[in-house]
Structure 1
């Protein structure tokens, strides 16, 4: 990554970084997409079981991955400040944090998974599939988080095409193992939806091994010699990572866990409603990969410019990313409105599920419009290492406003299950407004402070 001087150069560099991130995010999400879609071809129980399992796993995965995202602005600012020699130490400490967190989640999961499922009003078969799916997937947690740290290091260098290449390699691996383990091919037992968990775990191991090989053998990563020295544990470095990463992780956790909470509340409805809701959430999450990718790209470019004290350039990048996200979101909204039936048919042939899914997808349109504003703003703020506000706004907008409002609408009006979606849309929109105000304040403060120093 290099300094860009004109707006056209900034747009070009931003797109060079963004497009591979988008392909990578779509690829990573496609694993969950194929898990859900291929499981639905077995039975409604398999679809619901994998949906419940995914809803429980995704908040944990994204929250912990968010903590590890603290590596990105740290490395980006080190490079922007021309402190390349400090990068290996920070990355290795990030790997230590990743392994430690993985072990903790495995231990906690062994105690809390069954009680959580017991408290849900699920059919016995659906609960069994959800549990076995998560147990199978847990075999890949450690390599997944090691890969996440290495990916954040690669992205912080602006080498986002490398992570795109890795992800594209992993997709056929995931789909192939899904086919083998879900449907029982080539002598492999037929596991149904549970097989998607085994396939995903194997894919996570492949991701880690491929990424390790590239970091060790390929330039420009090889020149950093990440594994040349075995660094001792540094709790000071852990503290820096966690001070930045924990608010990021909590913000993402509050955002993604709200969907798990809604899915748990949806368990009061029938299996058709659960399945239709999950399909709509799954596709809305798929569309979210666009503003999320812009958010990640903004963290990289804003962090790079902020590390070099070029705050006016950082601000210009912020506006480029936000404008781009909003424009693309309106195009996606129009497309989803006209093709929502075709979208639903990608997931299921069940007429009842299909009909209800098309109704949920109407609400998904407004949901992704709000996402298009708040996600890139979060990314820009993280580039400035301003992470506490995003955490607070996520807590307030989802858990203080969105969920209570959704619960009231779902249980005390005729909206029923749709009430939860309206609550989330309102909470997300209010959060976007609050984050916009915070970004303006941070940018003014940085430009003013730097001008005073000069």
Structure 2
């Protein structure tokens, strides 16, 4: 920590020279010079300018969001390529990817995206408030534990057909979805590794690395999809084969980038820890106490959308095709609030780790404001394009008409999705993943899903796909307003700083990591 006094702490614009002993990338992550004093001291810090916070969050969120959009485009490209084979193949591909986001029980996506949220908390706080080399140990622990968590997931993916039949899905769809997802298993280790390594770099303020890698990989993914699907006997199965290769390449390319990155070397965060240190029982319990609620936080939301997809399947092939189009698009759009949430969690975690309670509080409000503005802009664009949006994914006029009818609800959904994304990021930065999971469980499973299913299927209602989406809009409204109210009214920011100091000191003792 710096030996400057708390009174001398000033906001630091990205690119300015810092007198702090921390590397420049670490001070730019903080946006202020870390506070000094005894290790147990808690400082509120000087207030940070709203404009500076908004700018820094936007600058951080753009490459992160672009990274997630490009990452999601890997499967979107597959849906587009496979969709040209016919309506059945389109439904299989889109349905399989929606199943791939159902939650910790049947999904590598949630194990990776949800499990790595523990690094949002532990990594960002350790990087600015503890021994920076402990960040690399957190990363290694994350990688091993999430690979282990995925083993039962892989078993279920390989035996998914009887589960889908039990849930009432068509036999041919159930068979092909199991074949599709069994092939997709091959890319799971690479995907988990890529997500973990990406978070490790983001905790250091290295936001653009994954974006650069994905820009390089995206054309390779398109070529692989076209080749495997249309020019090999694999056909439909060529899509998951191409994705598995692509995700493995993403992990390898990002690892090479990190190894040769001057910024990563300057941060001096890497240490190769022995397996006993990495799998220290208390540290693993601490990690899992954040990772498992993080998986639930991500998984409960996406599982709710999967339930909507299953319900849409009972409405008939055309509503299912329309839902597949909407969900494929929404999975891309969802990366925008998720990217803002990552920027918010890194910012809040770094400020808490740097003992800047007031700055962390301001960053939480700034991220909510930024996400609401972006959500409003997305809503306006979707409403303007609602009558032609379906043509991107399908040439069937009836599918396009049904997409157009539901699009106003999907558009209004975006404001609350963006606000919930930023608030979820703040909760992850504070290590409160369990609260996000609780809000999701209540909003979706107690209130919104029963309401949506009733509106869709009850004889006196029969709103079909529109009824299902009304429930989704209600859920996100409750989650967004509930999480923001909690952050605004219930968080003791100076207490959060003190808890972080105690946690970092305990971890340093356990790890015994030295420069």
TM-score (norm 2): 0.82
Check conservation: 2:430, 2:496, Cα contact below 8 A. Answer: no
1:45 and 2:92 are equivalent in the alignment: no
1:199-235 deviation line (CA, Å, top 9, x unaligned) = 1111111011112222333233346464634332222
Match of 2:133 among 85, 93, 104: 85
In the alignment, which residue of structure 1 is the partner of 2:184?
A: 137
Alignment of 1:145-224 (within 5 A): 145-184=192-231, 188-192=232-236, 194-222=237-265, 224=268
Q: What's the C-alpha RMSD, in Å, of the aligned pairs? A: 2.0
Structure 1 residue 51: Cα displacement: 1.7
Relative to structure 1, the CA distance from residue 101 to residue 10 in structure 2 (aligned partners, 3 Å threshold; closer, same or farther) is: same
Match of 1:375 in 2: 421
The 5-angstrom pairing of residues 6-405 of structure 1 reads 6-7=48-49, 8-59=51-102, 60-65=107-112, 66-111=114-159, 113-184=160-231, 188-192=232-236, 194-222=237-265, 224=268, 226=270, 228-232=272-276, 233-405=279-451
Give the superposition deviation at 1:28: 1.0
Aligned partners of 1:409 and 1:416 also within 8 Å: yes
CA distance in 2 between counterparts of 1:426 and 1:263 reads 17
Structure 1 stretches of 4+ moved >6 Å: 448-451
SS at match of 1:129: helix
CA contact (8 A) 2:136 2:200 kept: no
Separation of aligned partners in 1, 2:366 and 2:346: 14
- How far off is 1:284 after superposition? 2.2
Answer yes or no: is the 8 Å Cα contact 2:209–2:254 preserved in 1.
Answer: no
Gaps of 5+ in 1: none
Q: Distance in 2 between matches of 1:372 and 1:85?
A: 33
Contact 1:251-1:394 at 8 Å conserved across structures: yes
Q: Return closer, same or farther for 1:239/1:450 CA change in 2, 3 Å cut-off.
A: closer
Q: Is the CA contact (8 Å cut-off) linking 1:68 and 1:94 kept in structure 2? A: yes
For residue 190 of structure 1, report the CA deviation from its aligned partner.
4.9
Whether contact under 8 Å (2:91, 2:321) holds in the other structure is yes
The TM-score, its normalising length taken from structure 1, stands at: 0.93
- Counterparts of 2:400 and 2:496, CA distance in 1: 56
Q: CA deviation at 1:23?
A: 0.7
More helix by share: 1
The 8 Å contact of residues 276 and 357 in structure 1, kept in 2 or not, is answered as yes
Kept in 1, the 8 Å contact 2:120–2:428? The answer is no
Tell which deviates more after alignment, 213-222 or 289-298. Answer: 213-222
Compare CA radii of gyration and give the structure with the larger one.
Answer: 2
Contact in 2 for aligned 1:403/1:423 (Cα 8 Å): yes
Give the total of aligned pairs: 446
Equivalent in the alignment of 2:473: 425
The one-character-per-residue Cα deviations of 1:366-416 (angstroms, maximum 9, x if unpaired) are 211211221111111111112221110010001111111111111111312
